[in-house]
Amino acid sequence: MRTTDTITIIRCLSDNYAYLMHDATSGDTVLIDAPEAAPIQAALEARGWTLTHLLLTHHHADHIDGVAALKAAYPDLHVVGAAADAHRLPALDRQVSPGDTVDTGAGRFAVLDAPGHTVGHIAYHQPQAQALFSGDSLMVHGCGRLFEGSAQQMFDTIATFAALPDDTRVYSGHDYAQANLTFAARFAPDAQALEQRQAMLPKLADQGTPTVGVTLAEEKLINPYLRTHLPQVAQAAGLPDATAEAVFAEIRRQKDNA
C-alpha cells in the first residue's frame, strides 16, 4: 500500500490495484474498483475514513468481487458504473455513460469510453489530481487483452487517453509492468527511457512500491500501443508500410502469442 498526496494505492488479490481518494473537508472517500474488500477496508479503517463512492470500470470479477462486502460495511455507499454494462455489474446507484461526470467532495471524475478489454469498459479521468484510472484498458507499458472488444476499439480508446495532458498519471487495474516492459522492448522504445525503467522496476519490486502512476509523457517513450504511428515501431512490428491501426492490431496479436 502506498499513499501519494492525493491517491492511496491498494494492492489486492495477486496483482490488482484499487485506489482511494479522500477529501478531509467533506469526508468523502472515493474508491475506484473493488477487487476484494479486506485490504480496502483495512486501508479505510487505518485512516478513519468512511467509504462514500465506488466507481467501477468494468464487470470482471477481479474488479467487482468486493462490492457486496463493502456495501454491507458502508450502507450509504454510492456505487457508480457503466449504463451499457449495468446488466453485468452489481446493483448501481447511478448508471453513467461516456461524457458524464461524477461529482464528489474528492473531485470531479470525467467518464471516458474505454472499450476493447470488454465492450462496456469505462475509465475515469480526474484532472485535479492529474489522474487517469484506466482499469484494464491502458496499462503501464502495455494494454489489456481483448476479451470482447476489437483491436480498433482499443486503438480508439488508447488514442483518447493519448490526447489527455502529458502530465496525466496512469493508474491501471493490474501490475503487469515487468512483463509489459519486456515485451515493449521489442518495439523500438526510447533507449534511455527503457534503460531507466528497466533499472527502476526491480527496485520498486524490492521496496513493495506500486509500478503505477507513470505519466503519459513517460509512457509515450516506452509503451508500444502509444507509439504505433512511428515508422520505427511499424518496422519492428514487421509492418513497415501499415497504418497505425494495423500496427496496433499486430502488436496486440504478438503479445497474445508471446
- Looking at the predicted structure, is the pLDDT value of residue 155 above 80? yes
Do 155 and 246 contact (CB within 8 A), yes or no?
Answer: no
The pLDDT of residue 3: 42
Do 15 and 41 contact (CB within 8 A), yes or no?
Answer: no
The pLDDT of residue 4: 46
- Looking at the predicted structure, is the pLDDT value of residue 109 above 60? yes
The pLDDT of residue 2: 43
What percentage of residues in the chain have a pLDDT greater than 90? 97
Do 65 and 58 contact (CB within 8 A), yes or no?
Answer: no
The pLDDT of residue 258: 78
Residue range of the domain that includes 26: 2-256
For residues 55-79, average pLDDT: 97
For residues 179-208, average pLDDT: 96
- 5 vs 52, residue with greater confidence: 52
The string of pLDDT tens digits covering residues 230-242 is 999 999 999 999 9
Instruction: Give CA separation, 256 vs 17, 141, 142, 248, 249, in Å.
Output: 22, 15, 12, 12, 11
The pLDDT of residue 5: 57
Q: Structurally, how many domains does the chain consist of?
A: 1
Q: Which CATH number goes with the domain that contains 20?
A: 3.60.15.10
Which candidate, 143, 140, 152, 124, places its Cα nearest to that of 33? 124
